[in-house]
Amino acid sequence: MVVCLGRGGHDWRPRRRFTQRPPRARSKKLWCLDLWPPWPLSETVFSSSLLERGCVLPNLSVLWVIFFVLLLTFVVDRLLLRPVLDVIRKREEAIESAGELARRSATEAQAATAEFERKMSAARAEIYREMDEMRRAALGQRAEIVAETRAEAEAAVASAARQLQAEAEDARRRLDAEAQALGAAAAERILGRKAS
């Protein structure tokens, strides 16, 4: 934004004062508050005759300004923009390589996890198979032990039954013998003579 001020740095519009003096005449030359150029615009860039006719032709100082702008552009490009752009490019390459490394590491981690899961499931299956074999062997041993125990018990029961039967037969024979002896003794006592 360009603010035009008079030569003294004040606004050129008249101010109202307490006394009604007419304002003093001020210079019509304007100063620009832009940063460039710091001299009156009407004195250097435009000639007064061209301003009166309405034509505007630049002075040769414009060519110097264009030259210095181009020179400054070249210097800024060489000393500032290219090194900054090189640093930015290197950082982008580093970020890209880090991203590639992260993707490769993630892929390797997924492969290692899958391999671990596969080995764990194989080990689990092997453990379950061994446990099943051990359970079957234990059941087989149990069946053998039960069969042996049952056979031993049946043999013991059969032996005890034979022994009991033998003892019963022996007791029956003794009872028969004793019964006959008692019967003979009773008959002898009752009859008073020996029964034949």
pLDDT at residue 77 in the model: 93
pLDDT at residue 29 in the model: 47
Q: What is the CA radius of gyration of the chain?
A: 66
The reply to whether 134 falls in a domain is: no
Scan for tokens 């552009």, then name that residue.
Answer: 73
The reply to whether 38 falls in a domain is: yes
pLDDT at residue 179 in the model: 85
Check: CB of residue 30 under 8 Å from CB of residue 40.
Answer: yes
pLDDT at residue 12 in the model: 52
The reply to whether 25 falls in a domain is: yes
Whether pLDDT at 39 is above 60:
no
The reply to whether 75 falls in a domain is: no
- Residue 20's domain comprises 1-56
The reply to whether 5 falls in a domain is: yes
Check: CB of residue 188 under 8 Å from CB of residue 194.
Answer: yes
The reply to whether 17 falls in a domain is: yes
103: confidence class by pLDDT, cuts 50, 70, 90: very high
Using a cut of 0.75, tell me whether the model's pTM lies above it: no
State residue 5 phi and psi, 5-degree precision. -125, 160
35: confidence class by pLDDT, cuts 50, 70, 90: very low
**What is the tens place of the pLDDT at every residue in 44-87?**
444 555 556 555 556 778 888 999 999 999 999 999 999 999 99
Amino acid letter, residue 40: P
The reply to whether 8 falls in a domain is: yes
The reply to whether 141 falls in a domain is: no
pLDDT at residue 95 in the model: 96
Specify the number of domains making up the chain.
Answer: 1
Beta strands in 7-112 (DSSP E): 31-32
